[in-house]
Structure 1
């Protein structure tokens, strides 16, 4: 039977959460800073920065959403069931209205979902959703998503901001957004305005969110000065800024995320034309020492593309070069650099002569790397440069991604399975070098009839991608937030996702 969960009941439960503070309730607006560009909260389209994703999720609900803990909760759909074969998800829509007053119906929701899915074609998220066969209307407020194969993490995907459903170019909340100067002001929508049962005392139980999109240094400065109570969207490049945060100002929260954090090989010119040479770069990196300056307890380095021990991991792919010490690895890598340089001096000279910034006229190997601006990136560059210099490779910063040989990839997994990692590094994603053989195995996995067969094919795909040496993994991404002690509605979680609506609730 349908799970007995109503959207307004979930909201009421969230409203009862205690606020960790002293004194009377303060219903003034909560100041939140998200690290990024000032235009991020007001951007449209599919590829959004964190600020844009936060606003999209707050103003354009999908069938389901995430709560503060990263759990899937009702949104436009207030209940659902999954058939025993895992290939049919049936959603009953809530009894309410779109923003323009039109009733939420199965027909309107189906069309909105079809448009959202079509817009994602050609993206990594689109690949993740490729198992959807059709979206059908079953009754006036009931739709079914039929799958070509079981997708155990479909609900997590449907809760992503990109799967928010528009009707007449507007979303259905749960918040509205207005631009005030450079600040996005988000106001909770009263349930009664959405055709839902009224919540008593709504105006005194919720508050506005004032979302500021700032660069890292300014966001941390405003937090230290008390101008904002929460900083979201922290990544490795700005992590060193957290050293200025004293214990009386707030706490640094780290999300236990998995995903891709490493270097993408962008071209196969010169030294990078040989997979063995690309492997030499990966062998030279001391991953523990790379992250040591950040002082992160519990960060686990890996040489694998897919995070080890995820659901469905067969355990047949292990860490690379486990039988060799770091010195032995670097000796092997250095011999490959010397062999290439001695046999390709003319090629190296021509390649480097046209390289732009960082070019050289000698035969030594010179590579350019792009990292986002920030003190944390400076630390990474220093460490990587020292590692590569041990094998005779010079590393210099590139001014842009399209002029780089190596580019930092820093993405949190939307769901913890191998397919996410392989889709992000696929030829469809068009990030840099890729493996068509690996993509073929992923395609075959999508047609597999059993979970074991699918896992085996995804393992083969990871092996193909590993041998191609198109990506150099470091370990899991680093995601951090700054949280004032008085803030409720925030929780570190495995998705690194912190929705705005839970932050808008005040205690009774």
Structure 2
């Protein structure tokens, strides 16, 4: 197996064109997950890197898990009932075993979920699990998750790797795959046999059911794929999209997910130019979204509202007042606003600090933002991802389809009045009231111009044609058990 530590220049030199379809269909599937080495880590100890999340999702399923289309299928739970408008979730635990052969019990599942929720403050899901009131063992095979308020969409949250059912302190899961002891730095994952299956009806394991998972940089992953040494690249985003221009990936191999989520700039400063809502509106008016997204791909559709659709809101997505005006008219208004502010504040700095990670894709984004903001009289400055800033890039796929996720995720460092409106949607006693509160929060956040939408997240994969079960989906999540058709 080639070392993943190839220098960038060497990796790019190895990339060549052509449609990848030379690996046979009777060998393990080799998957590159973009990022660092894939390690099995407890999500309670901090956010997971993408390769770690892929490995955890493959070896430690939750109560439920995602299928190839981003839908929900059974995991540790074989079936479930949602009642009381989404306030009660009752799960029946299937006949599953830990790696040492002991039976998974409802008590194990309760302990794992309680630990995940107790430490969720370290995860991006913290605002969305506060609704859980208690998790109780009803019988040795049945648990109930009781909520303070109705949430009919909680299953997709439980399908995230962060809510995998684990045995602690030594991390162990129930599959559906298990890392081979000889896997080394690139684990070989084998299907977990079902000890309760009827032997005569069980399909014999095949070498092609195994998966070799490699965590590595995008350039190295593309070089590996071009050299016919892998079958799949997962975790592509706007950061690495420019590499595809040099990779010669055939259109049949490139898969772009219809990902739902946020890609835009959150207002994170209450000082200087961004202290005034009218000034924040000027920032939104200045950006040529169509030109910016076209720098990456013509099909990357720009957006101008916070919510992508009505979802569970009582109203259509709130639109800024300037939405109906053409770009040239918007920019005239924005330039006038900047000029008026500078005249009233002659000693104030026109610098707008934008916090973004460093990558080839961010450079493309930066050049577009630089042009747009300079055009209205401001001076953008690129600062490090965690540095003090006026604007901060958000690039996140929605874990489930609720307007409250968009509101809570977009409103970074929100003032108390807006945070209170968003929290009111969380605490709504009924689904009707929740929908109304989400609509009110969407309207308030849009009127305050606290978030500048640009597009939906750009997520891509590169898949060999032999992976006929691979599907793009709105979650941009691709289980390693749904790659081939047997």
- TM bucket, shorter chain: 0.7 to 0.9
- Point out where structure 1 has 5 or more consecutive residues left out of the alignment: 1-20, 349-364, 427-431
The aligned residue for residue 185 of structure 1 is 188
Change (3 A) 1:234 1:440: same
Stretch moving more, 482-491 or 441-450? 441-450
Is the 1:135–1:145 Cα contact (8 Å) retained in structure 2?
yes
The aligned residue for residue 422 of structure 1 is 407
The aligned residue for residue 173 of structure 1 is 175
Q: SS of the counterpart of 2:80?
A: strand
The aligned residue for residue 388 of structure 1 is 373
Change (3 A) 1:113 1:270: same
Q: Tell me, in whole angstroms, the C-alpha distance in 2 between the residues paired with 1:492 and 1:442.
A: 31
Q: Tell me, in whole angstroms, the C-alpha distance in 1 between the residues paired with 2:354 and 2:187.
A: 34
**Structure 1 residue 159: Cα displacement:** 0.8
**Structure 1 residue 141: Cα displacement:** 0.4
The aligned residue for residue 401 of structure 1 is 386
State whether structure 2 residue 462 is matched by structure 1 residue 482.
yes
Change (3 A) 1:112 1:378: same
State whether structure 2 residue 79 is matched by structure 1 residue 99.
no
**Structure 1 residue 476: Cα displacement:** 0.8
The aligned residue for residue 296 of structure 2 is 294
Q: Tell me, in whole angstroms, the C-alpha distance in 2 between the residues paired with 1:22 and 1:295.
A: 25
The aligned residue for residue 5 of structure 1 is none
Q: Tell me, in whole angstroms, the C-alpha distance in 1 between the residues paired with 2:198 and 2:344.
A: 76
Q: Tell me, in whole angstroms, the C-alpha distance in 2 between the residues paired with 1:33 and 1:69.
A: 20
**Structure 1 residue 163: Cα displacement:** 0.6
**Structure 1 residue 451: Cα displacement:** 2.4
State whether structure 2 residue 30 is matched by structure 1 residue 31.
yes
Q: Tell me, in whole angstroms, the C-alpha distance in 1 between the residues paired with 2:55 and 2:333.
A: 50
Per-residue CA deviations over 1:70-104 (Å, capped at 9, x if unaligned) read 12111111111222533221111112322233322
Is the 1:263–1:472 Cα contact (8 Å) retained in structure 2?
yes
Q: Tell me, in whole angstroms, the C-alpha distance in 2 between the residues paired with 1:312 and 1:197.
A: 47
Q: SS of the counterpart of 1:121?
A: helix
The aligned residue for residue 222 of structure 2 is 220
Change (3 A) 1:490 1:119: same
Is the 2:304–2:323 Cα contact (8 Å) retained in structure 1?
no
Q: Tell me, in whole angstroms, the C-alpha distance in 1 between the residues paired with 2:317 and 2:62.
A: 38
State whether structure 2 residue 328 is matched by structure 1 residue 327.
yes
Q: Tell me, in whole angstroms, the C-alpha distance in 1 between the residues paired with 2:163 and 2:384.
A: 34
Q: Tell me, in whole angstroms, the C-alpha distance in 2 between the residues paired with 1:387 and 1:314.
A: 31
The aligned residue for residue 87 of structure 1 is 87
Q: Tell me, in whole angstroms, the C-alpha distance in 2 between the residues paired with 1:249 and 1:260.
A: 26
Q: SS of the counterpart of 2:134?
A: strand
Stretch moving more, 242-251 or 399-408? 242-251
Is the 2:312–2:435 Cα contact (8 Å) retained in structure 1?
no
Is the 2:259–2:473 Cα contact (8 Å) retained in structure 1?
yes
**Structure 1 residue 328: Cα displacement:** 2.0
| Alignment map for 1:18-57 (pairs within 5 Å) | 26-36=25-35, 38-45=36-43, 46-57=46-57
**Structure 1 residue 477: Cα displacement:** 0.7
State whether structure 2 residue 476 is matched by structure 1 residue 491.
no
Q: Tell me, in whole angstroms, the C-alpha distance in 2 between the residues paired with 1:474 and 1:179.
A: 45
The aligned residue for residue 70 of structure 2 is 70
Change (3 A) 1:22 1:274: closer
State whether structure 2 residue 447 is matched by structure 1 residue 467.
yes
| Alignment map for 1:308-347 (pairs within 5 Å) | 308-315=309-316, 317-347=318-348
Is the 2:265–2:393 Cα contact (8 Å) retained in structure 1?
yes
**Structure 1 residue 43: Cα displacement:** 4.4
Change (3 A) 1:337 1:164: same
Q: Tell me, in whole angstroms, the C-alpha distance in 2 between the residues paired with 1:95 and 1:152.
A: 26
The aligned residue for residue 378 of structure 1 is 363
The aligned residue for residue 306 of structure 1 is 307
Per-residue CA deviations over 1:203-249 (Å, capped at 9, x if unaligned) read 32653222222222222222222222111111112112223454658
Change (3 A) 1:316 1:70: closer
Q: TM-score, normalised by structure 2?
A: 0.87
**Structure 1 residue 407: Cα displacement:** 2.3
State whether structure 2 residue 116 is matched by structure 1 residue 152.
no
The aligned residue for residue 268 of structure 1 is 270
**Which residue among 261, 283, 286 is the counterpart of 2:285?**
283
Q: SS of the counterpart of 1:378?
A: helix
CA RMSD of aligned residues (A): 2.6
The aligned residue for residue 8 of structure 2 is none
**Structure 1 residue 447: Cα displacement:** 3.2
**Structure 1 residue 262: Cα displacement:** 0.4
Q: Tell me, in whole angstroms, the C-alpha distance in 2 between the residues paired with 1:31 and 1:296.
A: 31
| Alignment map for 1:95-134 (pairs within 5 Å) | 95-121=95-121, 123-134=123-134
Q: SS of the counterpart of 1:108?
A: helix
**Structure 1 residue 105: Cα displacement:** 1.6
Residues paired across the two proteins, number: 461
The aligned residue for residue 141 of structure 1 is 141
**Structure 1 residue 56: Cα displacement:** 1.0
Is the 2:38–2:213 Cα contact (8 Å) retained in structure 1?
no
Is the 2:79–2:91 Cα contact (8 Å) retained in structure 1?
yes
**Which residue among 229, 233, 236 is the counterpart of 1:234?**
236
Q: SS of the counterpart of 2:284?
A: helix
